[in-house]
Chains A and B, each alone.
Chain A
Amino acid sequence: AQKITQTQPGMFVQEKEAVTLDCTYDTSDPSYGLFWYKQPSSGEMIFLIYQGSYDQQNATEGRYSLNFQKARKSANLVISASQLGDSAMYFCAMREGRAAGNKLTFGGGTRVLVKP
C-alpha cells in the first residue's frame, strides 16, 4: 500500500486565490512527522512546513498552513493568496518514528500552475 498519496496530479489556481493540496498517509507508527516540499523547475527541494503527529495545533508558516486531520490520516496543504512564483511541484512526505535520521517517503506530487 502507498504510504503517502497525493491524488491531484495537477491543478490550476487563479492568482491571489487560495489552493488546497491533498495528502493522505498510512502508518501504524504513533510517532511520525509530515512535511511539505516545493520543487520549482530548477529542481531544488524547498521545505515549506512540518507537522508532528503529537502536535495539537495545525502548523502554519506564512502563507502556508497544514490542515492536519489525524483520524482521517490527512495532511492537506493550504496556500493562501497564491502568487505566480508558487507555480511548482509540491510533494508531501512522511517520516516514521522519532529519530530525525529516519528516511522520508514522498508522495507522487501535485503540479500547481498559478494563472495571472
Chain B
Amino acid sequence: GAVVSQHPSRVICKSGTSVKIECRSLDFQATTMFWYRQFPKQSLMLMATSNEGSKATYEQGVEKDKFLINHASLTLSTLTVTSAHPEDSSFYICSARAVTSGDRNTQYFGPGTRLTVL
C-alpha cells in the first residue's frame, strides 16, 4: 500500500513555543490530506482537511490561528501548533488521499506524532 510518513514521531516542547509537524506521501501524490488529533484512550477527531494549493477547512471548534496548516505541494502538508500549551499535548495523525486511485481505501495514514507540552 501507499506510504505516508510523519516527522517528528515524538516531540517535547516548552509551553509557549511553536511546533511544526510534517506529513509526507512518499510514493504517491496527495491532493487532500487530513489532520486528526487523538487524546489518550479516545478516538481520532478530525481537525482539518488540507487541500493542495488552497486554504485548509477546519472542523468546528478547531482554532485555525492556533493550528496552522500548509499544503504547499502534492506530497507535503505541515501542521504548526502555535504557542503550544499543555492541553495541546496529544497524538497527531495525518492521512493522505491519492490523486488518482480506483482503490477503495484511498486514505493512507501516517504513523503519528506524539506531542508533549511541558
| Contact in complex: B44, A91 (CB < 8 Å) | yes
Majority secondary structure of chain B interface residues (helix, strand, loop or mixed) = strand
Q: With A91-B43, A103-B46 in contact, do A45 and B106 touch (Cβ < 8 Å)?
A: no
Roughly how many angstroms separate A42 CA and B43 CA in the complex, as a whole number? 15
Of A43, A50, A100, A108, the contact of B43 (CB 8 Å cutoff): A108
Give CA–CA (A107, B106) in the complex, Å.
19
B31 interface hit (Cβ, 8 Å): yes
Classify chain A: how many residues form its interface, as a range.
20 to 34
B60: interface (CB < 8 Å): no
Chain A positions 36-77 with a Cβ under 8 Å from a chain B Cβ: 37, 42-45, 47, 50, 52
Decide: B107 and A44 in contact? CB cutoff 8 A. no
Instruction: List the one stretch of B11-19, B21-29, B78-86, B109-117 in contact with chain A.
Output: B109-117
Residue of A nearest to B46 (CB): A103
The proximity string for B residues 75-102 relative to A, scoring 1 for CB distances below 8 Å and 0 otherwise, is 0000000000000000101010110010
Q: A97 on the interface (CB 8 Å rule)? A: no
Task: Give the complex CA separation of A95 and B32 in angstroms.
Answer: 14
Which 7 residue pairs are nearest across A and B when measured between Cβ atoms?
A: A100-B106, A45-B109, A43-B112, A101-B32, A106-B43, A50-B104, A106-B44
